[in-house]
Structure 1
Amino acid sequence: MKYSTLLFDVDDTLLNFQSSEKHALEKLFQTLHKPLTPEVYRDYHSLNAQLWRRYERGEISRETLLDERFNLFFQHYGENVDGTLYGQKYRSFLSESHDQIPNATKLLADLTHDHHLYIVTNGVASTQHRRLKESGLDKYFDNVFISEKIGHKKPEPAFFDYIANNISGFNKQDSLVVGDSLTSDILGAAKYGLDSVWFNPQHQPNASSTQPTYEIDQLLDLEAIVS
């Protein structure tokens, strides 16, 4: 067995964040009595992705991302809103949705007997804990590491250093990061000297300078890599 410690991202790796995001926006717009058109959804999705990348690069704080994104979003449409309140409502709706990526449960059930499984996520702690619990995936993991609680985020080496110090017998050579994000999961693994698996079901091109150790487009393909 080449890898005994597996570090899994959550969003768009095990749980379908695109589905959760759309659900949360639909619920938020319903409470605001506003229509959520495909164009408005795409605008929000694009802005949110840009803000998360800025957060990963250390350009903005977590608080700025969570409290200001709806201010920025509605300013685009000429509206001034209570971005903090909207953000709280949105995160509450987000936590309600936990659709799994195909074969997530089967993969974890197959791996849990011979591997140590951990969550490593930049998501909001309360949201991620609820989604993992209600999806039924939480039972497969030895621990859940969340940037909000650690005080460091992917791709910072300090995030992975905390994880290494809190897993008994942690060994870089036996550990593998699995995630969908080149800018947080794969780059973070590379910075810390860990092998990585880029989960890329849509076959997106890699335009970055970061190269994963492996690339898969179906979760069950991971089994051949780790066993």
Structure 2
Amino acid sequence: MKYRFLLFDLDNTLLDFDANEAQALPRVFAAHGVTLTPEIRAVYDAINHGLWQDYEAGKVAIETVLNTRFAKTMQHFGAEADGAAWERDYRRFLGDGHEPIPGAVELCKNLAAAHTYEMYVVTNGVAATQEKRMREAGIEDYFRVVFNSESIGAQKPSAAFFDYVFAHIDGFDRTRALLIGDSPTADIAGGKNAGLATCWFDEKGSGKAVSADYTIRALDELYEILK
């Protein structure tokens, strides 16, 4: 067995964040009297993506991402919004979504049943929301620890995030660890810089040139890698 320690990203690796977001965003805008049009969604996506990139680069705190993205979106259209209040509503609606990626529940169950691997989650998401979604998706109990950037105080792809993870796994050996995730930057670049083997989950077949040790488009392809 080449790999013992399996580090899984959560959003769009095990849980379908895109589907969760699609049901939550219209609800939060509607709760504040706004219809989420394609134009508003495009502006929100651009602002949100930029803020998350800044967070991954260590330029802003997670609170800045969460508490300004809705306010900045509405400011673009000449309206004021209480970003923190909108975010609280969004967290509540997002927490209602826990759709797994196809094959994720079966994969977690089967790997845990093998009693061969130690499984962990490494995520940049918000702790309470992520834990609720994992619990409701039925995968929480398969993982020994959920390492969350909000709790750690550092984020993927930073060395500080991975150093914390390694220090809090008993007997950890990075030469026997595999990181599985969908983000070329946070997961693959971050993992490689930390000395880990990486598996890029490219479900949509983006065709990007990503320097991962393995690339898969379906989670059940992971079984072959772990043989």
Q: Compute the TM-score of the two structures, normalised by the length of structure 1.
A: 0.95
Pairing of 1:136-151 with structure 2 (within 5 A)? 136-151=138-153
Count of equivalent residues: 225
SS at match of 1:129: helix
Q: CA deviation at 1:46?
A: 2.8
Pairing of 1:109-188 with structure 2 (within 5 A)? 109-112=109-112, 113=114, 114-188=116-190
Q: Please identify runs of 4+ aligned residues in structure 1 that moved more than 6 A.
A: none
**In the alignment, what sits opposite 1:213?**
213
Tell me how far apart the structure 1 counterparts of residues 4 and 161 of structure 2 sit (CA, whole Å). Answer: 20
Q: Deviations over 1:96-133 (max 9, x none)?
A: 10101000011111111221110000100010010000
Task: Letter of the 1:206 partner, please give it.
Answer: K
Q: Deviations over 1:140-173 (max 9, x none)?
A: 1011100111111100111111111111110011
- Contact kept? 1:109, 1:140, Cα under 8 Å: yes
Pairing of 1:28-177 with structure 2 (within 5 A)? 28-112=28-112, 113=114, 114-177=116-179
Tell me how far apart the structure 1 counterparts of residues 134 and 126 of structure 2 sit (CA, whole Å). Answer: 12
Q: Deviations over 1:164-210 (max 9, x none)?
A: 11111100111010000011011110110101011001111325xx5
- Contact kept? 1:22, 1:41, Cα under 8 Å: no
Tell me how far apart the structure 2 counterparts of residues 57 and 30 of structure 1 sit (CA, whole Å). Answer: 32
SS at match of 2:122: strand
Q: Which moved more, 1:33-42 or 1:149-158?
A: 33-42
Could you say what the CA RMSD is over the residues aligned between the two structures, in angstroms? 1.2
Task: Letter of the 1:214 partner, please give it.
Answer: Y
Return 5+ residue gaps in structure 1 as ranges.
none
